[in-house]
Structures are given as structure tokens and as C-alpha cells.
Chains A and B, each alone.
Chain A
Amino acid sequence: MMAIFIRGGRVIDPSQNLDEELEVLIEGDRIAALGRDLSPPPGAKIISAHGKIVAPGFIDMHVHLREPGYEHKETIATGTRAAAAGGFTSVVCMANTLPVADNVGVIAYIKEKARKEGMVRVYPVGAVSKGQEGEEMAEIGDLASAGVVALSDDGRPVMNSLVMRYALEYARMFNLPIISHCEDENLANGGVMHEGYMSTVLGLRGIPAAAEEVMVARDLILAEMTGGKIHLAHLSTAGSVRLLKEARSRGIRVSAEVTPHHLCLTDKMVETYDTNTKVNPPLRPDEHRQALVEALVQGIIEVIATDHAPHAQEEKEQEYDYAPFGISGLETAVPLVITCLVLPGQLSWSQMIRAWSTNPARILGIPGGTLAEGSVADVTIIDPDREKEVDSQKFYSKGRNTPLTGWKLKGWPAVTIVGGKVVMEEGQVLE
């Protein structure tokens, strides 16, 4: 493999508290050197990163790759290309496939497919319960040995608190975190958007903030009780933030993530009944959004994750009530957060990189998240000046379901390097 020399970029690596102009030398699949006044070895590929940000590869710890079972929405091949295009070097894929990833067979299938057709690193999540039914624990030991990095029934909550308790306790012996989709299905009551003024105006069934907060509270209590490791997926309300803050201040073992759309968009967008705004948890009013941003800035929420949920066009081209939940997020996530939060100065570059690389790697115990010499050569280079209009028809993902079509975003990923191999350059995925 050709050596790669990244020249002139502003290297921001929160794992080493670095933020300065440095050269990066990659040899093989490792970071060989990081420093000033390095010179490229003969024959090295030289990437000029002047004016750009060089960061440890971004890890999206919440992605739905849909394979096996829903290949019309996304496949491992298309989903990982979307990831590469979006600046991600690793994705963590959720277990709500068909069949559900609750057994070694499905996990092995995903890993094999990812090895053959994937463009970035793929880390599968195993189901918490058999068939994600929320009733009986899945064979967690088997899943652990098959190489899952976490457990989750994401897409559905584990409604039964006793099942959740046992899973948290049991998963401890494998040191696997449980990623919890916090939603009380009874309170959610068939809702399709946030319950509030906008749902009243639009005459759509609402999902109250309480539907999430009740489950966040339960999970925090169970995490404290069991000592299990819990990660709260896609938090969306100010109340969840308050609960999380309190729990963390008492040292409970919990981490949490927030999506770019919950950080940047509000339920005002539902006004046109664009089904691409239909997502679970739903877009919330601005006071919730602001609380999430603040929590991210303060490090109470440690991770940004897309909850990339691709759907086929005809599935979204329906009545709002009937359309499935989800936003195709991989290819807009990074510029959206940069445009909405980083460039206006609300979130620093290093805070963003910590939340999208350093922290997910630490929470899941997977390679990456650092540019330290000797670590895997996963690198994301961002061009903070590049401005482009979102065009979902040009997505690598099969899921064109984004509410951002036509938005001008600034700060696009310029280069994605996975294990010392350039997989994306200037928005083009390199086959």
C-alpha cells in the first residue's frame, strides 16, 4: 500500500489534545508519524490539506444499514459508500434487520458482507431480546463472541423493565453497552410528530416529550441499580438532558448521543407535511433543541450519531401518518452540524470531533478515535470553506429521505481515509 502524506492541515485530535498545523504520515494501515517539518517518503501520495481540518476518522455509532432483509432501502454496499462520502470511517449498524440480528448467523453475514462489499469499517450491534420482541433475552454470550460491539433493540424500546434489568446485568460479564431507544410506547400512543403547538395546528398525533423522558428515567435508575453500561440513543428533549445531567453528576455509568437533526432542526419543519421530517424521536421545538446543543457543548451528551435511517422513495411518498420514520443522514450530517453549530461558534471543532470520533471509540472500545502514532490510519479531512447545496438525488445512499434538499451547507468532508486507504476524495467515493 502506498504511503500517504497529509500536508499543511490543521490537525485536531482531542485524544491527544492537539490543535495545530501538523503533517501526518501514513504507512500501511497505521499512522506512522505526526509532526512538524516531516517530509514525504519517496512515492508517497501527497494530500494537500491547507486550510482544512484533519481529524481522527469519524465514527457513526448509530446507523441502519438495513441488510439483511430491507435491501430496497439500503445495503451494506450503498450504506458504507454513503458513510465514506459523508466523512465516516466506521459505522455501527443496528440490529433491526430481517431477520433480526439476534443470533450469530446474522452477525456473521453482516461482517462477511461488510468485508466483501463495505467501504468503511462496519461494527454490528446485536439485539437485546430475541426477535427484538422485548420478552426474552437474546443469546448475548453468543453475540459477544461473534463480535458485536453493543446490544440494542433500537427501533423499538425494551418496554418491560424486568427484561431491561436482566439484560443490563447479564451484559456486564461481556462488558457490552446496551444502547437504549428510550420511548414509552403507551405514551407515544401512535404519534407521528412532537406533541405540542405544531401537532395541534397540523392535526397530527403527537408524541409527548414525556414518552422519552419516562424511559430515560427508568433506564438511568436501572443502570444505577445494576451497574450495567447503558448508552442512551438519540436523545431529543430538555427533560432527558436534565435527567442525564443529574445521573452523571452522581457517577452513574451512562453515555448518550444526539443526532444532527435534533441539534439543528425543529418541529416547525413539519408544517409542510414533508414526510422526510418524520423521524423517531420526532423533531422538537427550539427550547429542546437548545438544551441538546448546550448538553453537547458541556459534554453531558458525549456523542453525535446520525441514526441514519434510509427508506425507499415510495415508502416516504405517502400520507404523513403512513410514511415510515427516519432520515437518511450520513451524507449531510457533518456539514449540517458544522453549518448550524460550528461555524456560528456554538460548538468548537474539537468538541465536535470528540463527539464524533474520540468518544464513540472509547465507549464501544473499537479502534480509531485518535491520530496517535501507531494507531489505525482512519482519517477524516474537512474543508470548512466548501459550500454546496444538498441534492439527495446524488446520494450514495439508497435512502433519499432528507428534509434538507435544497439547503446550502458549508463545511463538507473532503477526504476519508480508512486503514490507510483513501476511500473518498472531494465527495467522490473511490472504488
Chain B
Amino acid sequence: MDLPVKANIMDAEELRRVLIRIAYEILERNKGTQDLVLIGIRRRGVPLAQRLQKIIEELEGVKVPLGSLDITLYRDDLTTLTVYPRVQRTEIPFDITDKKVILVDDVLFTGRTVRAALDALIDLGRPKNIQLAVIIDRGHRELPIRADYVGKNVPTSLKEEIAVQVQEIDGVDQVLIRELPQEAQGP
């Protein structure tokens, strides 16, 4: 669906820089790549995590393990949906126990997706810690969750939608603020 675009708040170049900065922050905070793993939340967290993996490899010469997580089965809103979300594959081809897991997603909003992702990760093993990296934090949290790495804080209204678009899925790297139709507003 093509919603009216209110603003383009990040272009490809800016996104590239944001990812580089986040990569540096991750390396700094974790003092290198020891025990580090990247897990992208489907769908757009996955290509973003891939890019972080590549940047870290360029910086450190180490290929950090990369996985992807589908949180559909952990969602807390399934019974309220009329259209079933398509379940996709979780691919984490390594043991996360005692690892430092960097969970990667495009937007942090209510925090419910992250909550689901945390539950899903715990079912897969017992990581040493879990850190959260997002491109956009748009506020309106409904759970006590915060991000460790944020590309950009964007105050938004509930009448808006944040669309992080990536080359791999959308054919373009950019972040848009779009206007939601009246009936779809709200968290």
C-alpha cells in the first residue's frame, strides 16, 4: 500500500554511516568480536544484520556469526489478528549459549516485537547477554525495553508510520515517515 510520504529522514548514505557508527559502538562496548553474534529479526532486521556483519569484518577481519529470527510464533497479538502472519524460518546455525547476542531490527516502537524476540532467543539457549540495535527509535514504548544502539531517535505521532527501506527487500535504502489512514492509527 502506498501511503502519503511526509518526510524522507534518511538516505542511503546516511544509513551507511549510521550502520558504521553502530558497528563501532558494538565493537567498543564489547571490546572486540569475542563471543559476539548477530541475529536479525525478520524481515528487515536480517539484511541490516548482514550489513553489520560485513562492516565488522572489514574493520576487524573477523566474520561474526549471523542468524535470523522469526518471531511470529511468539507474538502476543495473534488472537487479535484476522490475517495470519506467515511463519518464516528461524535460522540460527550456532549455539547462542554464553554468547553476546546483538539483536538487530529496523524500528523500535512499542517494544512488543523485541519482547517476542527475547522469548524466542531464550528458548534457543542461554546467552551471556542480549543487546539491541535499531536504526530508528520512534518512541511510544508499551514495555520496559530500550535499545543499546540507535541510529536515530525520531519523535513520531501515532498517525504516522516509519518505513525503513533496504536495498535487499525494497530496492532502495531510505527511511520514510508516512501518514497512516485514519482507521489504522494507533500503536
Q: Is A in direct contact with B (CB under 8 Å) within the complex?
A: no
A contact set with B: CB distance below 8 Å? none
